[in-house]
Copies of this chain bind each other. A is one copy, B any other.
Amino acid sequence: MARKAAAPDGRGKTADGAGESKSARTRTRILDSAAHVLSIKGYAGMRLSDVADHAELQAPAIYYYFPSREDLIEEVMWAGIADMRDHLVEVLGAASSEATPMDKIMLGVEAHLRHELDISDYTTASIRNAGQLPEKIRKRQVAEEARYGELWRKLFKEASAAGEIRDDLDLYIAQMLVFGALNWTAEWWNPRRGSLGTVVAMAQSFVREGLSPS
């Protein structure tokens, strides 16, 4: 699945192709293909020849756009979190003015799962491989994860202040347990075994009750 946003370094203007140069479109196609292959095969298993096949290019052409395999992976991993963060900001911005902090956490659960499992190969790749990469190509991703986590930290703090989270829970640990429940879906969810809507509803129920005062 392609990114909606423009390429982060400004070389691609938009990802829908309008006004974009052929070069920028090719670069986007390589990134999209890398995200797809990385989301399935993982960091160790992603071969540039598979990326090239998927992008309908010769493998050496990739080096015209990315100095190395690591640079290509670095950008996918960063974009996967950056795009999910943009998506969450958008979803929260569109929330009803009457939404409580817990309602917003529920919107966040849905936004996270849909971005991870349906909207973006970049996000699937980013989540599935976060623990596999050498630190040197994780810097931008780590910074982006911190920004994304900060949005959630704020929601959890507000929910706690509003009495919507039990007093016995440590907010940091609770947030990480929720992230775990959501992130791990990429390891087991199979669209052939049930709808994404069902997973979203179950996760919302599990998280809401898991956090709320009895």
Residues facing B in A174-213 (CB within 8 A) are 174, 176-189, 194, 198-199, 202-203, 205-207, 209-212
A134 on interface, CB distance cutoff 8 Å: yes
What's the Cα separation between A44 and B203 when bound, in Å? 31
Classify chain A's interface size.
35 or more
A9 on interface, CB distance cutoff 8 Å: no
Contacts of A179 in B (CB 8 A): 184, 188
Which one of B128, B174, B206 contacts A202 once the chains associate, using CB atoms below 8 Å? B174
Binds B, one of A23-31, A55-63, A90-98, A164-172: A164-172
Closest to A179 in B: B184
What's the Cα separation between A132 and B43 when bound, in Å? 7
Which one of B133, B194, B214 contacts A209 once the chains associate, using CB atoms below 8 Å? B214
What's the Cα separation between A45 and B209 when bound, in Å? 39
Q: Are B206 and A211 in contact (CB under 8 A)?
A: yes
29 A-B pairs within 8 Å (CB atoms) are namely A42-B44, A42-B131, A42-B133, A43-B43, A44-B44, A44-B132, A128-B131, A130-B187, A132-B132, A166-B209, A169-B206, A170-B194, A170-B198, A173-B198, A173-B202, A176-B184, A176-B185, A177-B203, A177-B206, A180-B181, A180-B183, A180-B185, A180-B187, A183-B184, A206-B211, A207-B210, A209-B209, A209-B211, A214-B214
What's the Cα separation between A43 and B205 when bound, in Å? 35
Q: Are A174 and B128 in contact (CB under 8 A)?
A: no
Residues facing B in A50-105 (CB within 8 A) are none
Which one of B128, B170, B199 contacts A173 once the chains associate, using CB atoms below 8 Å? B199
Contacts of A176 in B (CB 8 A): 184-185, 188-189
